[in-house]
Amino acid sequence: MSSYTLGLHEVGNDCHAYLQPDGGWGWSNAGLIRGDGVSLLVDTLFDLKLTADMLDAMRSITSGAPISSLVNTHANGDHCYGNSAVRDGWPEVEIISSSAAAEEMPHVPPAMLHALNQDPGDVGDLFRSFFGEFDFGGIELELPSRTFDDRLDIEVGGRRIELIEVGPAHTEGDVIVHVPDANTVYTGDILFVGGTPIVWAGPLSNWIAACDLMLGMDVTTVVPGHGPLTDRSGIVASRDYLSFVESEAAGRRSAGMDAFDAAREIGVLMAADERFEGLGEFGRIAVNVDTVYRSLDPAHETPDVVEQFRRMAELEAR
């Protein structure tokens, strides 16, 4: 397995991963799959400079196999805000996502995060603590030009690539990218390695099912959306986390406990559980427990996004 360092890593059979340590908020991974004379890019990065640096690192491959297709695994900006940088280099590139992801992408435009990062008050301080290292100014989001539902098999320079929709889970329209001839899967944010999963959409049962689906594949190399390269063990660890949270949160909801109080209590349990030792972004438990409550009760009122980030920051501070 490649070392966890910034840059492009070959993972075998003309498949590559672009890694961005430490994998925390916004520091996402991407991928490049080379076929005969053309390449497929899996995801872009959070801002234009980061994406341009990544594309420069890929020039030794793309100079002989230009990018013909780009797959956005989901709608979060750290996986799609750099789309326009790809179009600048390859104007005819086909941008592909699930229909649900394409519909969700405009909900959090780059201009919104730029404004939050520039806010001089407490809200700005909050968002800068998460995203202050990124430059969202001047980004015009390029939306997908091709969408699909459930599954799409595409051909990239003679190679069959399977795009499989597994959302709603992390977001409304998550997609994994399976390369059968390389026993490799690019998971998008269906996998965080070394970091805590965050379940914006849910239900958690869908995400658990996505883990089971990948475990049923003949894969040996797993490229997560955040964190170092892994294998099947990384998938199992994510499934264990999600199953634990789902069970513990459901029990507390049945007992009438407030969602944030439940998150605090479950967090204490997890801190003492060696299975979850060392997970980064621990405060995401607040969002995850709230998603369990909302999944079980559609009338449950989820706090707005500012309050969600405030709660995560509060738990992290502890």
Asked if residue 244 is part of any domain, the answer here is yes
Asked if residue 2 is part of any domain, the answer here is no
Asked if residue 64 is part of any domain, the answer here is yes
Predicted model pTM: 0.97
Structure tokens at 174: 């998550």
What secondary structure does DSSP assign to 203-269, as a single string? -HHHHHHHHHHHHTS--SEEE-SBSS-B-HHHHHHHHHHHHHHHHHHHHHHHTT--HHHHHHHHHHH
Encode the chain (318 residues) as per-residue pLDDT tens digits.
679 999 999 999 999 999 999 999 999 999 999 999 999 999 999 999 999 999 999 999 999 999 999 999 999 999 999 999 999 999 999 999 999 999 999 999 999 999 999 999 999 999 999 999 999 999 999 999 999 999 999 999 999 999 999 999 999 999 999 999 999 999 999 999 999 999 999 999 999 999 999 999 999 999 999 999 999 999 999 999 999 999 999 999 999 999 999 999 999 999 899 999 889 999 999 999 999 999 999 999 999 999 999 999 999 887
CA distances from 196 to 13, 25, 171, 191, 282 (A): 30, 10, 15, 9, 6
The pLDDT value given to residue 1: 66
The pLDDT value given to residue 178: 98
Q: What is the CATH number of the domain that holds 167?
A: 3.60.15.10
The pLDDT value given to residue 97: 98
CA distances from 2 to 7, 19, 194, 220 (A): 11, 10, 15, 13
Enclosing domain of residue 166: 7-317
Asked if residue 72 is part of any domain, the answer here is yes
Asked if residue 29 is part of any domain, the answer here is yes
Asked if residue 83 is part of any domain, the answer here is yes
Contact indicator for 287, 198 with CB cutoff of 8 Å: yes
Number of separate domains in the chain: 1
Asked if residue 209 is part of any domain, the answer here is yes
Asked if residue 121 is part of any domain, the answer here is yes
